[in-house]
Amino acid sequence: MNQYDPKSLQFNLSGMGCWLTLLTTFLLLGSVGLGWLVNGFLVLIGLALIAPAIGWLGFRWWLRRNLVEDKCPVCTYEFTGFNGTNCRCPSCGEPLKVEQGHFNRLAPPGTIDVDAVEVSVQQLED
């Protein structure tokens, strides 16, 4: 029995033989007139390779745009938050809102800022 088989040897060359076989198959398919199939497959492979790279770049761009590093307005502790979100200061626990690259104090809903007005006793008697 002949143990030497060039085909199985080619397949056993890790990766390389596989790609050569794939290429040969593509060339064969192309020569038979199935070029569109080959092109479609190549486009698919290209997309599969490019998509994660684009996704990673997009994610980094988004992160750089949305990551805010600022100081807490209450205790000046510096930390990082996401733009447009609410968070708590890890140091003093103050609820904060991240807006335009800065941390702002977050007043609970329904809170109205009022200024105390001094009313004289005479005014009340009138």
Instruction: Give residues in contact with Zn ion (CB under 5 A).
Output: 72, 74-75, 77, 89, 91-92, 94
- Minimum Å gap between C-beta 108 and Zn ion is 17
Measured from the CB atom, the residue of 67 and 92 that comes closer to Zn ion is 92
Nearer to Zn ion, 24 or 104 (CB): 104
Q: How far is the CB of 102 from Zn ion (least distance, A)?
A: 13
**Cβ-contact 104, 96 below 8 angstroms:** yes
Q: How far out from the chain centre does Cα 88 lie?
A: 22
Alpha helices in 1-126 (DSSP H): 6-12, 16-32, 35-66, 121-125
- Shortest spacing between CB 109 and Zn ion, in angstroms: 21
Task: Give the CB-side neighbour count of residue 45, counting CA atoms within 13 A.
Answer: 8
Pick the closer one to Zn ion by CB: 5 or 78.
Answer: 78
